[in-house]
């Protein structure tokens, strides 16, 4: 009888994987999924776009964090977050310095610094060994302080004091109040609310996966979110709604759309706001946000609609058979501009909602006791291959 010896998994040569782990399943999740070929995504089995049309940000956040759509309109989670949003003195003290640092204002860099201080000031526990209640409490703390910190940094950069949060405002209205300190316009607040709900989670994108890798090591929730933010701010990931809006500024009028796009295509340049790594159909978030923008109307919306339609036609002509459609960045910039959010706070507004998804994934990852530790395939240098 012939016997065979099976190598233990740790000694087997790593299998070939596609660049960027594209399409490789690395974990199970009950939080949500992105079905790119179908042009849809969901939270806990519920269409995220439908949720954005129907529920508040607090309701959607409760669904993503706790697994069920609450029957109290999100009031329970809203109350928990309100109890967590006051900054500890150590964080409040460093914000003026952080806000003034650097020639270029970067709210997300400031948020990373603030969350590091928060973890120390609050004594956030490593998730490894902590109770589920403690881990969830720390996650709510990070979710609650994120908009507080971001708005405070922006206002201090403008030479203004942060405003006190109002218990009667939530979601989009609360965010606009934190930024501007004036009564939010209901239409603008509703538009921002739709955007926030639609961007809570979006599968195992790079920042979410980073958060889960950090959480698998048992670190505290704030540190895992800081790792996610560090990935999120990379120009290939975090989105560029401000740059998409700058493209509309450059186009200016409908008669300039085609020359602008053709020049970009001829130069091989990326057209901001078009194309997506997952969707091969229309980005459902862009479809939603176009509806939101058209509900408000105005010259910018009209130009944006014409630009989308003509650009998609030109892309189809230039690259037949390859679906390149408008993505969330394009209409997100339009919606946020209509709502009065300053351009340097477009991507931070994204983080106000996505921090909920990051924290949900951190909490889910803590249910596993296995650290994420993939293998690499070593490639010898030419010198080694020659035996030198």
CA distance linking residue 40 with residue 117, whole number of Å: 38
Q: What is the pLDDT of residues 112-156, one digit of tens each?
A: 999 999 999 999 999 999 999 999 999 999 999 999 999 999 999
CA distance linking residue 257 with residue 235, whole number of Å: 25
Higher per-residue confidence, 237 vs 2: 237
In the predicted model, is pLDDT for residue 1 greater than 50? Answer: no
In the predicted model, is pLDDT for residue 327 greater than 70? Answer: yes
In the predicted model, is pLDDT for residue 326 greater than 60? Answer: yes
CA distance linking residue 28 with residue 78, whole number of Å: 29
Q: What is the pLDDT of residues 42-84, one digit of tens each?
A: 999 999 999 999 999 999 999 999 999 999 999 999 999 999 9
Contact by Cβ (8 Å): 196, 171: yes
Q: Average pLDDT for residues 291-311, to the nearest whole number?
A: 97
- Judged by DSSP in three states, 346 sits in helix
Structure confidence at residue 67 (pLDDT):
97
Adjacent-strand bridge partners of 33: 42
Residues designated catalytic? 276, 329
18 pLDDT tier (thresholds 50, 70, 90): confident
Structure confidence at residue 276 (pLDDT):
82
Structure confidence at residue 2 (pLDDT):
44
In the predicted model, is pLDDT for residue 5 greater than 50? Answer: no
Q: What is the pLDDT of residues 307-320, one digit of tens each?
A: 999 999 999 998 88
Q: Average pLDDT for residues 265-289, to the nearest whole number?
A: 90
107 pLDDT tier (thresholds 50, 70, 90): very high
Considering only the C-alpha atoms of the chain, give the largest distance between any 2 of them, rounded to a whole number of Å: 83
Structure confidence at residue 282 (pLDDT):
85
CA distance linking residue 310 with residue 117, whole number of Å: 48
Contact by Cβ (8 Å): 153, 98: yes
CA distance linking residue 290 with residue 198, whole number of Å: 13
Superfamily of 241-338 according to CATH: Cytochrome P450-Terp, domain 2 (1.10.230.10)
pTM: predicted TM-score of the whole model, two decimal places? 0.92
Structure confidence at residue 388 (pLDDT):
67
Q: Average pLDDT for residues 348-354, to the nearest whole number?
A: 97
Q: Average pLDDT for residues 157-170, to the nearest whole number?
A: 95
Superfamily of 32-236+345-365 according to CATH: Citrate Synthase, domain 1 (1.10.580.10)
Question: For residue 382, what are its two tokens?
Answer: 């030419």
3-state DSSP: the chain helix, strand, coil percent, rounded to 5? 60, 5, 40
Higher per-residue confidence, 37 vs 193: 193
In percent, the amount of the chain with pLDDT more than 90 equals 80
* Domain spans in the chain, listed from the N-terminal domain onward: 32-236+345-365, 241-338
Nearest to 223 by CA among 138, 162, 334: 138
The pLDDT mean for the chain works out to 93
Structure confidence at residue 241 (pLDDT):
82
In the predicted model, is pLDDT for residue 101 greater than 80? Answer: yes
């Amino acid at each position: 009888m012939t016997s065979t010896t099976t190598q233990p998994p740790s000694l087997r040569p790593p299998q070939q994987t596609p660049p960027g782990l594209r399409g490789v399943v690395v974990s199970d999740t009950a939080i949500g999924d992105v079905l790119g070929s179908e042009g849809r995504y969901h939270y806990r089995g519920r269409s995220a776009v439908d949720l954005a049309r129907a529920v508040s940000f607090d309701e959607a956040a409760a669904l993503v964090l706790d697994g069920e759509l609450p029957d109290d309109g999100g009031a329970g989670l809203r109350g928990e977050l309100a109890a967590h949003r006051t900054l500890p003195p150590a964080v409040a003290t460093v914000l003026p310095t952080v806000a003034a640092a650097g020639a270029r204002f970067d709210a997300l860099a400031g948020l990373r610094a603030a969350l590091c201080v928060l973890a120390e000031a609050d004594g956030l526990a490593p998730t490894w060994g902590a109770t589920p209640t403690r881990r969830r409490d720390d996650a709510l703390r990070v979710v609650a302080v994120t908009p507080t910190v971001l708005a405070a940094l922006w206002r201090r950069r403008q030479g203004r004091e942060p405003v006190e949060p109002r218990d009667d405002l939530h979601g989009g209205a609360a965010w606009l109040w934190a930024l501007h300190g004036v009564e939010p316009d209901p239409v603008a607040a509703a538009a921002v609310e739709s955007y926030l709900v639609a961007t809570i989670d979006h599968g195992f994108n790079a920042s979410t996966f980073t958060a889960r890798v950090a959480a698998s090591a048992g670190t505290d929730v704030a540190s895992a979110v800081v790792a996610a933010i560090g990935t999120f701010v990379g120009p290939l990931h975090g989105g560029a709604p401000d740059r998409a809006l700058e493209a509309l500024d450059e186009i200016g009028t409908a008669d300039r759309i085609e020359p602008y796009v053709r020049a970009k295509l001829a130069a091989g340049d990326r057209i901001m706001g078009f194309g997506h790594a997952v969707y091969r159909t229309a980005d459902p978030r862009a479809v939603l946000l176009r509806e939101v923008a058209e509900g408000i109307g105005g010259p910018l919306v009209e130009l944006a609609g014409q630009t989308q339609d003509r650009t998609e036609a030109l892309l189809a002509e230039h690259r037949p058979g390859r679906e390149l459609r408008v993505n969330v960045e394009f209409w997100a910039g339009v919606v946020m501009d209509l709502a009065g959010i300053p351009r340097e706070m477009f991507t931070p507004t994204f983080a106000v909602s996505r921090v909920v998804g990051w924290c949900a994934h951190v909490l889910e990852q803590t249910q596993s006791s296995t650290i994420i530790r993939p293998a690499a395939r070593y490639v010898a240098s030419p010198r080694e291959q020659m035996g030198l």
